[in-house]
Amino acid sequence: MKTRVIFVGIGGATCSGKTTLAKHLRRILPGSMILHQDDFAPPQEKIPVHPEYGVQDWDSAEGAIDWPRMIKTLEEVKRTGVIPPEHYSHDHLNEQRDIPIGSETFERWRDAFTRIDEEHRQAGEQLIWVLVDGFLLFWHPEVVENLDVRVFLRVPHDVLKQRRYERHGYHTAVQSDPEGTLWRDPPHYWEQIVWPAYVAAHERMLGGDVEHGRPSGSVPELILIEGLELKVDDMVERVCTQLVDVVKA
């Protein structure tokens, strides 16, 4: 049986709801897995210090992700359909408040994709869905190129800031300890680091205005979802409809 690996990119700012959406899709799509871009951050010792504010900058695109490692892993997963065993995720340590979806939505799509999966198997093809969840997903051209579907969740500044403030921290890698460490935002980290880095990485793709701009075309076939206007059910609906089209293509 041959395998067909489909990469579904779910991008958006920190706390925009990417992981929440990705986890619903993982439950719906048979043979699916999540790759978290957070797990491609360099170890804490290697995170650059911001030249002006003197704090570690986990957010500016150039230094926040080990891009060669991420691209190599994407290419390997695309080829093999398997996440390499040496890839370690800290996501299970991060706390997350569950935002449920209706059982009708869940079951209808779960059934639809189970049927699609069976049809493809009968035709000799195994489908593997890889949900790539990332806060800098559309910055590096080689990452963008690898994604088969590109979804961007946009949530307004004030909501993001509030959600980030409520979050108690992030588990991140350190070289000296395989379990990693807990990062908490220092004072003013949002205004000084997170938001400017988000704007810098996304303004071009949103026509110069991250809050209200339309997709400029710099990221091809970008699906923009206004994360505060849609219920999670409707987001699932929108993405699943798109995935049916992709798998038929």
Ligand X SMILES: Nc1ncnc2c1ncn2[C@@H]1O[C@H](COP(=O)(O)OP(=O)(O)O)[C@@H](O)[C@H]1O
Nearer to Mg ion, 39 or 148 (CB): 39
Distance CA 116, CA 60 (A): 40
| Residue 170 DSSP code | E
- Residue 205 φ/ψ, nearest 5 degrees: -70, -20
Q: How far is the CB of 93 from ligand X (least distance, A)?
A: 13
Name every residue whose Cβ is closer than 8 Å to that of residue 157 and which is 6 or more positions away in sequence: 195, 211
Measure the N-to-C terminal CA separation of the chain; round to a whole number of Å.
19
- For ligand X, the binding residue among 69, 87, 121, 163 (CB under 6 A) is 163
Residue 99 interacts with which of Mg ion, ligand X, none, CB < 5 to 8 Å by class: ligand X
Segment interacting with ligand X, rule: CB under 6 A, options 11-19, 26-34, 173-181, 201-209: 11-19
Is residue 9 at the binding interface for ligand X, with CB under 6 A as the rule? no
CB of 130 to ligand X, least distance (A): 16
Written as six digits, the tokens of 119 are: 């049809």
Q: Does 19 bind Mg ion (CB under 5 A)?
A: yes
Integer Cα distance of 10 and 53 in angstroms: 30
Residue found by looking up tokens 């579904």 in the block: 8
Return the residue of 232, 237, 238, 242 that touches ligand X, per CB under 6 A.
232
Interface with ligand X (CB under 6 A):
12, 14-20, 96-97, 99, 163, 227, 232
